[in-house]
């Protein structure tokens, strides 16, 4: 249980991709701009988009983005439990930035009580060092089948005595029912932590929503503390597959006559898709996710990204005909880039005889780069830096595969052969000089009249984070939010009426959405 420290607030969601990450980042930027020393926190994150902290720990990219919003250095305590799916039912568990276990859905349940202690201790440590900690939930607290071992939503709220804001995406429809239903399925002790609601992605005149918000307050005893308008172009470090289709294409006009078209192969277990974000921010660069050879045909550059299941995704490339198309591109001198697992798939062979990442043993690669990969149980977590064509380059490495290069032109711990490139470094395109030099070579090979812009990706990210802070400041009841942070869980919040729950019964209990002012569910 938390004993002392700064104020805290938990942002939960009615669904995945409701806006939890965005609202958490916006709150962090709003507070940071007012001189509040604030930190983000997510007890448990499931994502294949991760990064390496300065001290060599692995955390979700969303928490790193939120740390940037807070203007603080990201650290492992901000995301103490990270799940990296390795298939439909298996995940790799990272605890406090370090590899911990490989689990399936059922065996992971046994780890959760100890991991809740880890999460609460990490949160306590942040609260001692920061004025405020803004916590982000995971999925939805309404997943009652998972409640008994929950460590990220109401389990954390009760363990750390946190007030909770629930955010809902109105663009999906049914947001009022989502709010009321989320509250109604919770036990009274969980309900007392739910302090208010936030509507996300609203289009139109907020006055049209007012009758519904009045109904919501009457039905739940809780106010909506803000209606965030729909804004385009705020994509930042996605966590899960639900975000992928909203990723950007062409954002700004080209400097030259031509557009440079980049195709990012949408692997089934793709990781660190955020590597392409800085490319999409460059003027005249269009980035598309592709999953067929036909979609790749007109691309000037094809990127094979990282993956959590290299051998499985390599087999998928072959089955879809993408492997053959990559060979045709290479033979024609058309640029291809492999990053981390993508580099490994473009190489000569992959050996995982100890089953570190898969049970498939070994397989020949696509043979486009003179590279052999051997898997080791020890994970590489590093933040390398160097120079290429006179430009400083830095990135981060997260992999079990040890790459041995036997030929080609050296390229960021990987190599280049013809117009096929490969590196183990993630995040390299955030380096402005390198990104422009690399894309200039791609444009020359593709015969495009494309020229780089002059803006900084870091400045562009800062502008987006400021836009999130503006959304919070302009459209949230910030005075009410600050009271929650400062004072904690409000006293006397009513519980909506729930019939007694028979734990031996499998059917749902009937719901009566009538608040009870005594703070307890109707037990009559």
Asked if residues 274 and 457 have their Cβ atoms less than 8 Å apart, the reply is: no
Phi, psi of 317 (to 5 degrees): -55, -40
- How many CA atoms does the CB half-sphere of 326 hold within 13 Å? 32
- Determine whether 327 is exposed, middle or buried from the number of CB atoms within 10 Å of its CB (0-12, 13-18, 19+): middle
In the set 28, 224, 340, 431, the catalytic residue is 340
* CB neighbour list of residue 389: distance below 8 Å, 6 or more residues apart: 434, 437
Q: At what angle do helices 457-475 and 20-32 cross, to 10 degrees?
A: 90
- Token representation of residue 414: 């990987």
In a 10 Å sphere around its CB, with 0-12 CB exposed, 13-18 middle and 19+ buried, how is residue 267 labelled? buried
State the Cα–Cα distance between residues 151 and 94, nearest whole angstrom: 15
Count Cβ atoms below 10 Å from residue 26 Cβ, excluding itself. Answer: 28
Contact 171, 199 (CB under 8 A): no
Check if 92 is active-site: no
426 belongs to the catalytic site: yes
Interatomic CA distance for residues 336 and 419, integer angstroms = 6
Residue tagged active-site, from 92, 178, 426, 475: 426
Catalytic residue list: 340, 426
């Amino acid at each position: 249980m938390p004993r002392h420290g700064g104020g805290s607030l938990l942002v939960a969601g009615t669904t995945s991709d409701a806006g939890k990450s965005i609202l958490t980042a916006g709150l962090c930027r709003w507070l940071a701009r007012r001189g509040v020393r604030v930190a983000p926190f997510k007890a448990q994150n499931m994502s294949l988009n991760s990064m390496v902290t300065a001290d060599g720990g692995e955390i979700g990219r969303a928490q790193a983005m939120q740390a940037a919003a807070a203007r603080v250095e990201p650290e492992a305590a901000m995301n103490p439990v990270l799940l990296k799916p390795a298939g439909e039912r298996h995940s790799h568990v990272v605890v406090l930035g370090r590899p911990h276990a490989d689990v399936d859905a059922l065996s992971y349940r046994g780890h959760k009580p100890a991991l809740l202690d880890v999460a609460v201790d990490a949160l306590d440590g942040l609260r001692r060092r920061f004025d405020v900690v803004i916590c982000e939930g995971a999925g939805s607290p309404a997943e009652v089948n998972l409640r008994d071992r929950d460590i990220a939503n109401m389990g954390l709220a009760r363990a750390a005595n946190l007030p909770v804001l629930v955010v809902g995406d109105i663009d999906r429809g049914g947001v009022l029912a989502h709010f009321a239903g989320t509250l109604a399925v919770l036990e009274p002790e969980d309900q007392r932590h739910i302090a208010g609601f936030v509507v996300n992605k609203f289009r139109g005149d907020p006055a049209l929503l007012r009758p519904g918000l009045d109904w919501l307050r009457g039905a739940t005893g809780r106010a909506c503390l803000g209606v965030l308008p729909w804004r385009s172009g705020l994509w930042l470090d996605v966590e899960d597959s639900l975000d992928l289709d909203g990723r950007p294409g062409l954002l700004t006009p080209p400097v030259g006559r031509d557009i440079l078209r980049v195709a990012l192969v949408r692997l089934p277990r793709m990781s660190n898709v955020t590597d392409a974000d800085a490319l999409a921010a460059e003027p005249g660069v269009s980035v598309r996710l592709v999953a067929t050879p036909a979609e790749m045909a007109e691309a000037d550059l094809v990127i094979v990204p990282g993956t959590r299941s290299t051998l499985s995704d390599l087999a998928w490339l072959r089955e879809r005909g993408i492997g053959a198309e990559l060979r045709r591109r290479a033979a024609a001198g058309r640029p291809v880039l492999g990053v981390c697992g993508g580099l490994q798939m473009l190489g000569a062979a992959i050996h995982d005889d100890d089953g570190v990442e898969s049970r498939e043993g070994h397989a020949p690669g696509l043979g486009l780069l003179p590279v052999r990969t051997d898997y080791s149980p020890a994970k590489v977590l590093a933040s390398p830096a160097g120079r290429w064509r006179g430009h400083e380059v830095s990135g981060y490495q997260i992999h079990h595969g040890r790459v041995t290069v036997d030929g080609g032109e050296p390229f960021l711990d990987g190599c280049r052969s013809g117009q096929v490139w490969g590196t183990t470094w993630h995040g390299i395109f955030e380096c402005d000089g390198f990104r422009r030099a690399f894309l200039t070579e791609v444009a020359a090979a593709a015969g495009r009249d494309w020229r780089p812009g002059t803006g900084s990706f870091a400045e562009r990210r800062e502008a987006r984070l400021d836009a999130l802070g503006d959304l919070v400041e302009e459209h949230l009841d910030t005075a009410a939010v600050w009271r929650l942070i400062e004072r904690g869980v409000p006293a006397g919040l009513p519980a909506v009426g729930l019939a007694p729950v028979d734990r031996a019964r499998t059917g749902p209990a009937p719901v009566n959405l009538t608040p009870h002012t005594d703070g307890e569910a109707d037990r009559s």
